[in-house]
Every structure is written in C-alpha cells, then in structure tokens.
C-alpha cells in the first residue's frame, strides 16, 4: 500500500463502523494462515487491515474504495484451504464475511439461500432442522460457503451428487468495481446467455467476492450404513470400485484407505480402528430412502467385493458407529500434519487409480521417501502426502512432487481435483495447461478485475 494504513483504515471505518476495522496484528493472527502445512505455507504480508462487513452493500463500498485506491483485497472464508489460497501475501485488506452468515431454507424448492460467511456446519444444521440434507462433506465444517464455492470444494461424499459446483444454483457476487451481480436462482434450468456463475465457481476469489448463494438440498435419507471392505492386495480394492459403480448402486462415498494411516489416525484421537485385517481397505457409505433399498445395495456390494477377493465386510449401522469411522478417517490428515510438507490431490480417470498408485510406489522407492496415500476412490481423486524425513523437509521434495504430478497428467488426470491452484501450485499451471487456455484465463481475469486487486498472486503469478 502506498497510502498509510491509518489513512486507509479511516476510510473503511466510515463504511462499516470502527469496531469492524481491525489493524492490530494481534487480533488478526488466525486470519494470516490456512490449513496448509507450516513449511509450505506462504507468509502473510506485513501491512494488513482486517475488515468485517455486515452486508452486500458494505462489501460493495469496500471493493469500490479499494479498487479506486488500487489496494489488494484478500477474501477469506474459514481458512481451511490447503494451498495457501486465502493468505494475504501482499500489503492490503483481509475481507472476512463471517458476520454475513444467515441461512434461509426454502423447503418447498429444496434449496437454501446462504450468506457467504455461514459455515458448512451452519448449512448442515439448517438443512437438518428443515428435515433436509446437504450431502457434500469437504472435510472441516468450519469452512464457509463463500470458500466452498470459490474453491469448488469436493471431499468424501461427491460420488452420488457431485462436487460443490453441482449444488450451486444461484450466486450474488460483488465485482471489483462494487457492482453487484445476481446470477441464477432457485432454478434447475437456466440458459440466459453465458454461464458466468460456473465461471466464478472455483475461481478462488480472483474474479469477484461471493456474498450469497442458492444451494440445492436433498431429502434426508431414511437409512444409511457404512461398509468397510478389507483387502490383502491393494489392486483388488481398486478394481472393486468401477465394478460397484457399474452395478447400478451409487454410494454417497467410496474411500480408499490403508491400515497403517488408519491406525495412526485412531491413535492420534485415542481410539482404535475397528478392522485390523487387510492392509488396504474401502470405506463405503450408502444412503437410501428405505432399509430395504440400502440393504439390497449392501448385498450387491458384498458380492462385488467377494468377486474381487475382499475379506469379510464390516457393516456399521448405528449413527455412533458410522460417525466413529468417519471421525477416524477424517483424522488421517491431522495425524500426519505435523510431519507433512504438502498434501497433493491428483485426480485421474477412476480406471487409472491403480496405475497412479503403482507409479507413486516407484517414486517412493526411487527417492527413498514415505508417501502415504488415501483418497476418494469413487472420484479417481487421490491424496498423496509429502512427508518430512527426520523432522526435515527432504532435499529432493521438488523432484518427488514433479514426478507425481507428471504421472497424474500422463494417466489422463489433473494435478488438482479439489484443493485448487491457490499459491502453492501457481508455478505448475503453465506446465499442464496450454498457453492459449492460460491466456484466455488471464484475459477473463482482466475483464473482471482490471486492476488486479482481488486475491492477487493466486492462480496466476503476480505481474
């Protein structure tokens, strides 16, 4: 910022009131980081102002003023990202919409209208209270609606109903100029010109600030069970996945996990993983309207599993049991985090998942590094963890990462299916998409944000 912080802060105090303009570093510490492992996360800039507006009108005035002064604006959500996408890497404004957290459920249309600062937990709760269900579960429930949409979040329950993009039917957004756009609505079909809404979903805060969204909900399922299928041989587990999907059963989630990491995660939270047979396992969540429907699907899966050499399946039926399984599964990341350098989210065609794993094994042997993997097998989406060795970041980590990226792309995949480009993957985008595609993206950025004030230095390199 060329202007003095005090001068700028004064302008914003006039817009949103002095108590919502924070300039003291001590009160903004938690806004300077996300869930990216410490050693990979970019540092926050020195001169920052944290703003907490209460309305779309205030967001509009803030952006208009920032745009006129050419001050960078870093929109943040729940700061649960894994690629440093919301870190304020330049002097400027941190924009938190946490006060804008209202959710209205429209029971008749099975939709929710949620302000961007509402959390995933808020949305799950509001849907539940209205007798409805928001199926997607991209990890940390502290994630906010604005962030979930900006990053097109995925997670464990994307097999049946898709990723965040598939849920968003309407958006209210504020452009860098302060103009407010209303796109879509509680509609299933909409062909009014170009689909700006889908262009904005996944644009990581670089095109506009999302202030509100219309989100599709589903009826609560009458019955849900979680199956654990143990395998001695990983390739048998992987081969099971497309066979399940071809059977006509569409589970809510199909997760691939390995016993070593499950036991670590269980230990980390003082629990025990219930299935100790089989080093590779599939966790399958089934939901349906009735017990009959779900148990008949269980039978189909058990048959497919048996054909693919699975051990005896374990079925968790009570809510407590199912939640325990998911809790342990969700804590693999936490258990590994202290020793983690980076977590990748390569996505390949489902049928190439086994090839990707074999390739990662080779890389692991070649460089002598521990590369724990698990992931959303039903989506072809694998999380590969780059770990410290003896508490230190291995010297060859760059080569290891590059080799894994290259394998993913060689197998017809992409280097990020969930986490996005953010800050950590910036240098990679031009390796894996064509110059022409990148130049179209850059021109779109210029149209939306000609002064490059919105989350600068993310997705594209600065300048």
CB of 237 vs a copy of itself, minimal distance in Å:
15
Residue 305 interacting with a copy of itself (CB under 8 A):
no
Site for a copy of itself in 157-186 (CB under 8 A): 158-159, 162-163, 165-166, 175, 179, 181-183, 185-186
Q: Which residues contact 334 (CB under 8 A, 6 or more apart)?
A: 265, 268, 269
DSSP secondary structure of 302-321: HHHHHHTT----EEE-SHHH
Site string for a copy of itself, 396-435 (x = CB under 8 A): ----------------xxxxxxxxxx-------x--xxx-
Taken in order 421, 410, 38, 399, is the CA torsion positive or negative?
negative
Site for a copy of itself in 322-351 (CB under 8 A): 347-351
Alpha carbon 462 to its chain's center: 23
Name the residue among 76, 62, 48 with its Cα closest to residue 16.
62
List the one residue from 376, 383, 385, 423 that touches a copy of itself (CB under 8 A).
376
CB of 315 vs a copy of itself, minimal distance in Å:
19
Residue range at the interface with a copy of itself (CB under 8 A); choices 2-10, 47-55, 255-263, 375-383: 375-383
How far CA 417 is from CA of 19, 182, 414, in Å, comes to 39, 27, 7
List the one residue from 233, 267, 293, 321 that touches a copy of itself (CB under 8 A).
293
Nearer to a copy of itself, 158 or 340 (CB): 158
Nearer to a copy of itself, 263 or 451 (CB): 451
Residue 457 interacting with a copy of itself (CB under 8 A):
no
CB of 222 vs a copy of itself, minimal distance in Å:
6
3-state secondary structure of 424: coil
Site for a copy of itself in 184-213 (CB under 8 A): 185-196, 198-199, 201-203, 207
How far CA 121 is from CA of 36, 78, 159, 391, 395, in Å, comes to 21, 11, 21, 34, 39
Nearer to a copy of itself, 82 or 118 (CB): 82
Name the residue among 402, 356, 405 with its Cα closest to residue 379.
356
Site string for a copy of itself, 90-119 (x = CB under 8 A): ----------------xxxxxx--------
CB atoms inside a 10 Å sphere around CB 422: 25
List the one residue from 39, 269, 338, 447 that touches a copy of itself (CB under 8 A).
447
CB of 38 vs a copy of itself, minimal distance in Å:
23
Nearer to a copy of itself, 31 or 448 (CB): 448
Q: Is 267 left (phi over 0), alpha (psi -120 to 50) or beta?
A: alpha
Residue 438 interacting with a copy of itself (CB under 8 A):
yes
Which pairs count as long-range contacts for 444-450, CB under 8 Å and 24+ apart, including other chains? 444/199, 444/207, 445/206, 445/207, 448/175, 448/176, 448/206, 448/207, 448/208, 449/175, 449/176, 449/206, 449/207, 449/208, 450/176
Q: Which residues contact 95 (CB under 8 A, 6 or more apart)?
A: 51, 53, 59, 62, 73, 74, 75, 76, 209
What does the radius of gyration of the chain's CA atoms come to, in whole angstroms?
A: 22
CB of 299 vs a copy of itself, minimal distance in Å:
10
Nearer to a copy of itself, 17 or 412 (CB): 412
Residue range at the interface with a copy of itself (CB under 8 A); choices 16-24, 92-100, 149-157, 225-233: 149-157
Name the residue among 371, 372, 363 with its Cα closest to residue 403.
363
CB of 200 vs a copy of itself, minimal distance in Å:
9
Nearer to a copy of itself, 55 or 109 (CB): 109
Site string for a copy of itself, 223-262 (x = CB under 8 A): -------------------x--xxxxx-------------
Q: Say if CB 144 and CB 117 are below 8 A apart.
A: yes
Number of residues that bind a copy of itself (CB under 8 A): 91
């Amino acid at each position: 910022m060329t202007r003095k912080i005090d001068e700028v802060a004064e302008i914003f105090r006039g817009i949103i009131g002095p108590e919502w303009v924070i300039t003291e570093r001590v009160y903004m510490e938690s806004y300077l980081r996300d869930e990216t492992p410490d050693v990979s996360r970019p540092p926050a800039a020195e001169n920052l102002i944290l703003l907490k507006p209460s309305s779309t009108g205030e967001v509009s005035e803030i952006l208009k003023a920032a745009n006129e002064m050419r001050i960078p604006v870093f929109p943040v959500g729940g700061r649960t990202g894994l690629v440093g996408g919301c870190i304020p890497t330049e002097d400027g404004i941190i924009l938190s919409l946490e006060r804008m957290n209202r959710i209205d459920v429209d029971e008749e249309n099975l939709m929710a209208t949620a302000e961007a600062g509402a959390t995933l937990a808020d949305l799950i709760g509001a849907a539940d209270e209205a007798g409805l269900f928001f199926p997607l579960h991209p990890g940390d429930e502290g994630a906010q609606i604005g962030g979930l949409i900006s990053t097109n979040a995925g997670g464990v329950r994307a097999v049946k109903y898709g990723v965040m993009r598939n849920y968003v039917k309407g958006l209210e957004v504020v452009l860098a100029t302060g103009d407010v756009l209303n796109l879509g609505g509680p509609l299933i079909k909409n062909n009014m010109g170009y689909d700006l809404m889908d262009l904005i979903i996944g644009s990581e805060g670089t095109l506009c600030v999302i202030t509100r969204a219309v989100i599709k909900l589903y009826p609560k399922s009458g019955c849900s069970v979680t199956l654990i299928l143990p395998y001695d041989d990983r390739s048998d587990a992987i081969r099971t996945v497309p066979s399940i999907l071809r059977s006509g059963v569409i589970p809510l989630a199909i997760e691939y996990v390995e016993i070593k990491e499950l036991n670590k995660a269980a230990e980390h939270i003082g629990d025990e993983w219930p299935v100790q047979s089989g080093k590779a396992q599939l966790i399958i969540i089934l939901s349906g309207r009735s017990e009959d429907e779900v148990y008949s699907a269980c039978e189909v899966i058990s048959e497919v599993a048996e054909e693919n050499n699975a051990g005896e399946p374990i079925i968790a039926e009570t809510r407590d049991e199912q939640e325990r399984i998911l809790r342990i599964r969700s804590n693999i990341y936490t258990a590994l985090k202290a020793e983690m350098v980076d977590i990748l989210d390569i996505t390949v065609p489902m049928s190439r998942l086994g090839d990707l794993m074999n390739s990662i094994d080779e890389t692991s042997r070649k460089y002598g590094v521990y590369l724990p993997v698990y992931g959303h097998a039903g989506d072809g989406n694998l999380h590969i963890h780059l770990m410290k060795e003896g508490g230190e970041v291995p010297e060859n980590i760059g080569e290891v990462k590059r080799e894994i990226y290259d394998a993913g792309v060689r197998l017809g995949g992409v280097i990020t299916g969930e986490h996005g480009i953010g800050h950590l993957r910036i240098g990679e985008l031009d390796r894996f998409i064509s110059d022409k595609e990148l130049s179209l993206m850059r021109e779109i950025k210029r149209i939306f944000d000609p002064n490059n004030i919105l989350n600068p230095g993310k997705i594209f390199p600065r300048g």
